[in-house]
Structure 1
């Protein structure tokens, strides 16, 4: 093997995003590993007839039975709640009706940051969300938003490991993912810490362990909104965590070979950037300040949360569409939902084995 070939092999293995050794043929070119994205316009806004709702946030999405099913947080005069919408393609999203989940058995009160998936062992859909502590509801029919069960807690009391020095709980943005033996509950604390708890697949949703700290960084560098996926066709997992910077919020990326393993930063960009102001392009108006809480468009529906590295990655996110010169209270921030689509090879697409 000559020096150039060796260098290309090292680059491919490390996915470091370095330049290749030259040459005019396609086979001698090195794929980029940094992420690049193109954003849609805002696709989901507060309903036109609900002036009391300021923003829609924290989307979770699954594609099932020919339709996208989206659950989201609503921020309004009445506080924080959740809503559901469904459509067959992105073009339909702006006009799709929204159902407020306080009209379901989930009920009124503080409800936010949902995650939805199908738990195949029980043949039930799970909706995970926060009501202060982590809660869940289930249904056998995701298309019927009135069919969700009343909230149930994962823990009988707040675990000691997530209490701050004053005894207050510091946990939010809860996320479930399972492998073939265990189910994991990941979350952040708005304090630079990323946590993990676990239970067996057979005991889920009961029996979660005392959470442990998985990663610990500066508060702004590991803030909230973690989401974790299995990369289909590989032994790799991807975790995304929202951070805060001078250009708005953005996501960082890590990979690991086990859900209870060590997370390594995805190379190719400063701060292992996944998506933010520095790598998302817009057609026309730049409507979003940064890229905030969202979810990948998955390859399936079940608890393994698989994403397909062989298809262009898509991420449904909350974008901050502020009116210039206007000041807002936090709950009044005009968040809208849009989709970013990967436009170039990246560290995840390079794992495609087709």
Structure 2
């Protein structure tokens, strides 16, 4: 009997050692440190004449990294979306581009994508902005021709957001995350307000409620590019992590960008600041070291934590394991309009134990 008890205890110990990221017990630190790759991916030298590669959404699925991003240029159709995949970051630069205006998404303004698998419908969703909060669906993430034509969560801009946008802002950077009962849509107005609306999980993508203001600050302190993630268990009251891109002091095309962070117990709850200054950011020039020794950007701008949990809950792995694909730009780039800023993509890796 004693030997059976010992075997049972050993099995339990082994099971605990194989806990998945969703069961992590590591608390969140109050400061973060990262290393950055050199430039990983740039616009192709092709007939598209793209100036900037921006806003990457990235997941790891079936042995490959799948990336959706905005492509920008100063003239013509300024924005649309691109897809590429690779199995190793060292080969990311060589990945062929599939321009999604060749799918049913069509030409015209599409930007700032977010991709996830909506398990209740067994469909991939691509959420993006097209002047409204838009989405397309696909059965196969690796088939760039399979995306459906744009549909929208709203028939027009909700009144609260229209008032917030005013004459100086834009309705941008839609982000969907779901819990056990609801799907929540976050978005920004470039004037310092983060909005949230929701619909029942069973009704998604229909029935999105009128938005409410989830967080508010100055334009510079709460600009755009919000990411919201579910954390593993064991973080006390911090079940969700919010990242928002801000504009700090310094000179760089588009302004020096960095990320502040907050946590909350629920997606509709109160957000509590975590690492939330330019001096102590979640990610920014103050806490990023470049592996090559060449600081190719002072802006850590719009991107996403690399997810291996691909469903609508947007759960990320344990603290210390995070990687973040982002857009950066040479601060010496001058005399360019906003749409012509030469953004490239890089990868941050969290330094564990700090």
TM-score (norm 1): 0.85
Tell me: CA distance 1:32–1:139, structure 2 relative to 1, closer, same or farther (3 Å).
Answer: closer
Partner of 2:211: 211
Which of 293, 299, 303 matches 2:308? 299
CA distance in structure 1 between the aligned counterparts of 2:122 and 2:184, rounded to whole angstroms: 18
Give the equivalent residue in structure 1 for 2:68. 71
Provide structure 2 residue ranges, at least 5 long, that are not aligned to the other structure. Answer: 1-26, 251-255
Q: Among residues 28, 34, 39, which one is paired with 2:36 in the alignment?
A: 39
Equivalence map 1:174-193=2 (5 Å):
174-193=174-193
> For 1:244, which of 247, 271, 274 is the aligned residue?
247
Relative to structure 1, is the Cα distance of residues 198 and 281 closer, same or farther in structure 2, using a 3 angstrom cutoff?
A: same
Partner in structure 2 of residue 118 of structure 1: 117
Partner of 1:273: 281
Distance in 2 of aligned mates of 1:271 and 1:295: 21
Report if aligned partners of 1:118, 1:125 keep a CA contact under 8 Å in 2: yes
The CA deviation at 1:51 is 6.1
- Deviation of 1:164 (Å): 2.3
Give the match for residue 195 of structure 2.
195
Structure 1 runs, 4 residues or longer, greater than 3 Å off: 30-33, 165-170, 267-272
Matched residue SS, 1:331: helix
* C-alpha contact (below 8 Å) 1:194/1:215 kept by paired residues: yes
Give 1:325 shift: 6.3
Instruction: Please tell me whether residue 333 in structure 1 is matched to residue 332 in structure 2.
Output: no
Output one character per residue of 1:284-314: Cα deviation in whole Å (capped at 9) or x when no partner: 2110121000001113100000111155211
Q: Distance in 1 between matches of 2:165 and 2:316?
A: 40
Specify the alignment match of 2:272 in structure 1.
264
SS of residue paired to 1:114: strand
Q: Structure 1: how far apart are the matches of 2:230 and 2:41?
A: 27
Question: Could you tell me how far apart the structure 2 residues matched to 1:227 and 1:345 are?
Answer: 23
Secondary structure of 2:141's aligned partner: coil
- Deviation per CA, 1:235-265, whole angstroms, max 9, x where unpaired? 6100000000114100000000101110000
Query: Structure 1: which 5+ runs fail to align?
Result: 1-29, 347-354
The answer (yes or no) to whether the contact 1:54–1:334 under 8 Å persists in 2 is yes
Q: Match of 2:227, SS?
A: strand
Q: Per the alignment, do residues 272 and 280 of structure 1 end up closer, same or farther by CA in structure 2, a change over 3 Å counting?
A: closer
Within 5 Å, which residues of 2 pair with 1:119-158? 119-158=118-157
Given that 1:32 and 1:344 are in contact with CA atoms closer than 8 Å, whether structure 2 keeps it comes out as no
Is the alpha carbon distance of 1:36 and 1:156 closer, same or farther for their aligned partners in structure 2, counting shifts above 3 Å? Answer: same
Q: CA deviation at 1:268?
A: 8.4
The root-mean-square deviation of aligned C-alpha atoms, in Å, is 2.0
